[in-house]
Amino acid sequence: MHKGLERVSYLLGTWRGEGKGRYPTIDDFAYGEEVKFWHDGRPLLFYAQRTWNLETDGPMHSETGFWRPQRDGSIEIVLAHTFGCVEIQEGTVEGNRIGTKSKGVVSTSSAKDVVALARHYSVDGDTLSYELEMQFDDNELQNHLSGTLTRQS
Amino acid sequence: MHKGLERVSYLLGTWRGEGKGRYPTIDDFAYGEEVKFWHDGRPLLFYAQRTWNLETDGPMHSETGFWRPQRDGSIEIVLAHTFGCVEIQEGTVEGNRIGTKSKGVVSTSSAKDVVALARHYSVDGDTLSYELEMQFDDNELQNHLSGTLTRQS
């Protein structure tokens, strides 16, 4: 493993669990979720996430991209989303906690305009917890998703 | 397969080949490349690409994201790049040819600022050819990469 990855090596593996979503514009919802982090020797993590409907097992959301820990203790995340959005997150790694805010979000012409996103991850052994905040349309940045995943491998 | 994917189903599979790169600011270079397109029943393609050094086999670039064909014959592509950039491409599908230009490109604080990108893909049977144009810094939008890949499966 590249030395530059050691600080976030606790993310590596396949994680599975469930999450819950909420937002003023929609009904509350729940979902199954799988997250994978892996590397190829470079100082960055490959990331792929997918969620599914807990009743039908049908796919809901997917996002994929790269996590780039920096030498100064900061981290950059570059992501693409199935619903037609890309985002750049920047923030910090503090031990087992990672917190980032969007530097830029761009949506496709057919997609809804997400204004900003913030992400909070923490790992405790084989448990990964996260919160995602979203600013959408005229709504303030606020909690949209939260989930708890268990490391499978 | 979702009906919305039929128009671009010729992309599905794993492709391998080689490409060449050029730009006024750097020496010419060559690379090995693998591209994978797959789907999960939704009307979008999952996309993962990686390139490697032909002499050392070491990883060079990777990009990943989603291709979203639209009902009106247009297509949207959302991508994240290992070097710290995300892009939204929009354009058209005309038979076996896909051409797009960037609607938005955002780079992380540590990455070089790409101003714009354009992509041209064509598939002839089991051969995929592409050209990528890049506008970087003060240089005009111009050809940066071209490659030819063969379908493996």
Report whether A50 contacts A36 (CB < 8 A). Answer: no
Nearest one of A17, A10, A53 to A35, comparing CA atoms: A17
For A1, counting Cβ atoms within 10 Å of its Cβ (0-12 exposed, 13-18 middle, 19+ buried), the class is: exposed
**Residues with Cβ < 8 Å from B37, sequence gap 6 or more?**
B11, B12, B13, B15, B45, B46, B47, B67
Q: In order of start, what are the domains of chain B with their CATH numbers? A: 3-151 (2.40.128.20)
Q: What is the pLDDT of residue A39?
A: 97
Residues of chain A contacting residue B70, judged by C-beta atoms under 8 Å apart: 110
Instruction: Determine the average pLDDT of the residues in B1-23.
Output: 97
User: How many residue pairs from chains A and B have C-beta atoms closer than 8 A?
Assistant: 112
| Largest distance between two CA atoms of chain A | 44
Contact A42 B82 (CB under 8 A): yes
Q: What is the pLDDT of residue A100?
A: 98
Residues of chain A contacting residue B109, judged by C-beta atoms under 8 Å apart: 76, 90, 103
Confidence check: pLDDT of B153 > 90? no
pLDDT category at A151 given cuts 50, 70, 90 is very high
Interval A90-111: pLDDT, tens: 999 999 999 999 999 999 999 9
Which chain B residue has its CA at the smallest distance from A82's CA? B66
Instruction: Determine the average pLDDT of the residues in A25-47.
Output: 97
Task: State the smallest CA–CA distance between residue B3 and chain A in angstroms.
Answer: 16
Contact A86 B107 (CB under 8 A): no
Q: What is the pLDDT of residue A85?
A: 97
Facing A59 at nearest CB: one of B42, B108, B109: B42
Interval B26-75: pLDDT, tens: 999 999 999 999 999 999 999 999 999 999 999 999 999 999 999 999 99
Confidence check: pLDDT of A133 > 90? yes
How large is the ipTM? 0.96
Interval A41-66: pLDDT, tens: 999 999 999 999 999 999 999 999 99
Intra-chain end-to-end CA distance of chain B, in Å? 17
Q: What is the pLDDT of residue B5?
A: 97
Q: What is the pLDDT of residue A153?
A: 85
pLDDT category at A113 given cuts 50, 70, 90 is confident
Q: What is the DSSP string of chain A?
A: --GGGGGGGGG-EEEEEEEEEEETTEEEEEEEEEEEEE-SSSSSEEEEEEEE-TTT--EEEEEEEEEEE-TTSEEEEEEEETTTEEEEEEEEEETTEEEEEEEEEEE-TTS--EEEEEEEEEEETTEEEEEEEEEETTSPSEEEEEEEEEE--
Q: What is the pLDDT of residue A135?
A: 97
Residues of chain B contacting residue A75, judged by C-beta atoms under 8 Å apart: none
Contact B86 A107 (CB under 8 A): no
How confident is the prediction for chain B on average, in pLDDT? 97
**What b-and-e string marks burial along A121-136, b requiring 16 or more CB atoms within 10 Å of the CB?**
bbbeeeebbbbbbbbb
